[in-house]
A and B are shown apart, each in its own frame.
Chain A
Amino acid sequence: MDAVEKANTERQRRWVKDQKIGEGMYAVVYRGREAATGRRVAIKKIKVGQFKDGLDMSAIREVKYLRELKHQNVIELLDVFSSKTNLNLVLEFLDTDLELVIRDRSLVFLPADIKSWMAMTFRGLEFCHRNFILHRDLKPNNLLIASDGQLKLADFGLARDFADPGYKMTCQVITRWYRPPELLFGCRYYSTAVDIWSVGCIFAELMLRTPYLPGESDMDQLKTTFRALGTPTEEDWPGHTKLPDYVPVGQFPRTPLRELFTAASPDCLNLLSKCLIYEPRRRISAREALNHQYFFASPKPSHPSKLPKPVMKASPTAPLEEMNGNVEMNGSGPGVKANPPNKLKRKLSSDDLGGRSIARKLDFSQHRQS
């Protein structure tokens, strides 16, 4: 046995797989624990063998970036090891995600709760941006929530580092409802501002308790966006008509945010509007956002441990699990039940990425293991 194999075997021994909790085309997720301490973990086994061109891209990205990032508000990749022809990612175990929290109608959000979630989101994002990494898939169900209430950015399957000058980036990133207009116009040279737009949409969703800009197609997404925020003029956003996929989608007047967000404070709306500025260069940065008056004004952000959370079923079976990345929604693993069919699924439509499935999440809220 050579040195690498030996090291790998030792790593493998540190972790115990307990129970399979989901399976997709690209990965199987297990609930597991650390052998020495019993600490709960999620083990994501990525099937390598079946791909002609080697590892799935999102797995590479996830390992590449999570291996380097360590922050209170970013999911921790604890270990990576291989077994036979598979790659295993050992991830921090997290109880639930922000989408399930938003959807749980029995939970009441206080303004301080929303502030707390936003602060944690911006902190995690600031850390990524500080380290020159774009997340490119922020949405409520990629914001996972630990048992102590800390919110963590997860699913780095679409992340990448800042492009060098002149290098093109793909515009087919970020789940549609959270995708900024520059990407919808096919822009290949963009920046951290794309993530900020997504955070703005999440911010609005926390207040509305329903997705803010739920477009039904890419074209409809532009329309939905402009209907909500007004069609940008050349003055609002210089140069946007020259973007590769620019199409005029009609003129809509700008309606004040106040009309939709009736209960929000002026500080709150000011920050929201700065996240949703059309011109990416003028959009607020994560660091500026964290220093925004909204966070310092009363009420103080709720202590994470007090944030509302869906009630976990007291069954011994798997609670909600870290289950992102390339797990197929319609994978038919035993006992796995996908989201109920819904036209407005919170995922990239399959044509977005040439049929390749990315960034999906299983829903275990209705799952009972036999």
Chain B
Amino acid sequence: MSRTASGGLLRGTVIRKGGASSSSSTRISTPQVQSTSTTIFGGGVKDPSGRTSEYFVSLIHAIHCMQIRPILESEVASLGKRMLPQDTFEDLGVEKEVAVRRRIAKEFNKRKEDFPDLRSYNDYLEEVEDITFNLINDIDIPETEARIAAYRRENAALIELNIQREEQYSRYLKEHEDAERQEREQRALELRRAEEEEREEREKERREIIDQLQTSDKDAVKLIAKSRAGALRRATARSSNGAQSSSKALRPRFAQSAVIPDEPHVPLQDDWYAYEDMFVLRDSYDDPASEAVRRDREGIMRAGGYRVEEAWERALRYAVAGLEIMPLQGFHLGANTSPHGSGESQAVSASTS
């Protein structure tokens, strides 16, 4: 792997196994590589979980780069030319990059499905890469942070949703696994029970035959044949019974739920707008039309649930809802006498008036 622009991006995949100083390590304050002969296969920097984090992360890095490469080929090339100090991908650089990428991935979690087309998805990936690059290389930090904050503001709901989606998906995988495991256990149990039963039955048969041979004066061959036929009957009955496993009934629902996850409840799914920013409903109005209702001496309107406030709200909302509709233009009342006005367009405009 050479140190050309795009090759350089992938340098993180090189794992430093032995402690030999052949690798170009210039790190001073980062965790020490455990580099004895016993760790020859477990080399690299270990994180608290014991995972070789450097390897792990470099791989992610590599995959990430490969994903973007097709669309970013020119970009990457130009980056390389612009400014890639050699030591960007030294260990310290990789560590920083890992931290930055981890942080970015947490919030920039949009999926391909969240975009109307491939083009906008690619644009988004490019932007993410741009931001990441800036952070890693300390370019325009305040401006980049502002971009991140803006993104976070605009996409708060979607970010949250995608986090939930991921959690949900892993939950469903787990549920599915659990269900399968349960079924396996159930099957094993049934099998064991069936074997046990069969064994007992054979034992019983054997005893019966011996009994009968002892007590009866019938032909021994006939007795044995009869008992064999009985055993065969029972065995076939058993196998056809066993075919209906109890867990079968709910199986399709389980399989489905792994494929289509249930979404969390969203109270209203349309764009609710009630012009509430355009009026304030008062407690009372000077409204002669509703005076009788409000007096309601008998209390029958209250008992029936009628609310005069609803009538007021409707009147106000209807009043403001039409405010932004432009008056019709070019519409003449005498249009049916116009020489070339097609009758149809008149009908249409009349119906919208």
Contact = CB atoms under 8 A, between A and B. Distances in A.
Nearest to B312: A165
Interface stretch (B14-22, B78-86, B120-128, B287-295): B287-295
Interface string A269-308: 0000000000111010001001100011001111101100
Interface string B273-305: 010000000000001011011100011111111
A125 B300 CA distance: 25
A242 interface: yes
Nearest to B265: A295
B176 to A, nearest CB: 14
A123 B304 contact: no
B174 interface: no
Nearest to B342: A3
Contact of B290 (A165, A188, A243, A283): A165
A190 B306 contact: yes
Interface in B226-282: 249, 253, 256-257, 260-265, 267-270, 272, 274
Contacts of B332: none
B293 A6 contact: no
Contacts of A240: 303
Given A3-B343, A191-B305, A238-B302, A162 B262 contact: no
B346 A243 contact: no
A158 interface: no
Nearest to B313: A132
Contact of B262 (A194, A237, A300): A300
A191 B270 contact: no
A291 B272 CA distance: 14
Contacts of B28: none
Given A164-B289, A303-B262, A123 B268 contact: yes
B270 A291 contact: no
B47 interface: no
Interface string A146-172: 000000000000000011111000000
Contact of A291 (B267, B292, B293): B267
A280 B304 contact: yes
Count class of interface residues, chain B? 35 or more
Interface string A170-214: 000000000000100001111111100000000000000000000
Nearest to B298: A242
Interface string A99-142: 00000000010101001000100010011001010000000000
Given A162-B310, A283-B305, A295 B267 contact: yes
B304 A182 contact: yes
A191 B302 CA distance: 10
A57 interface: no
Given A239-B298, A239-B299, A242-B299, A132 B310 contact: yes
B305 A280 contact: yes
A306 B253 contact: yes
A181 to B, nearest CB: 10
A187 B303 contact: yes
B272 A130 contact: yes
A-B CB proximity, top 6 nearest? A280-B305, A3-B343, A165-B290, A239-B303, A239-B299, A187-B304
Interface of B: 249, 253, 256-257, 260-265, 267-270, 272, 274, 287, 289-290, 292-294, 298-308, 310-311, 314, 342-344, 346-348
24 contacts: A7-B344, A7-B347, A123-B267, A123-B268, A162-B311, A165-B293, A165-B308, A187-B300, A187-B305, A189-B305, A190-B304, A191-B310, A192-B310, A239-B300, A242-B300, A280-B304, A281-B302, A281-B307, A287-B268, A296-B265, A301-B262, A303-B260, A303-B261, A305-B260
Given A110-B253, A281-B305, 18 more contacts: A3-B344, A72-B269, A123-B267, A130-B272, A132-B310, A132-B314, A163-B306, A165-B294, A166-B290, A166-B292, A182-B303, A182-B305, A189-B293, A191-B307, A237-B303, A291-B267, A303-B261, A303-B263
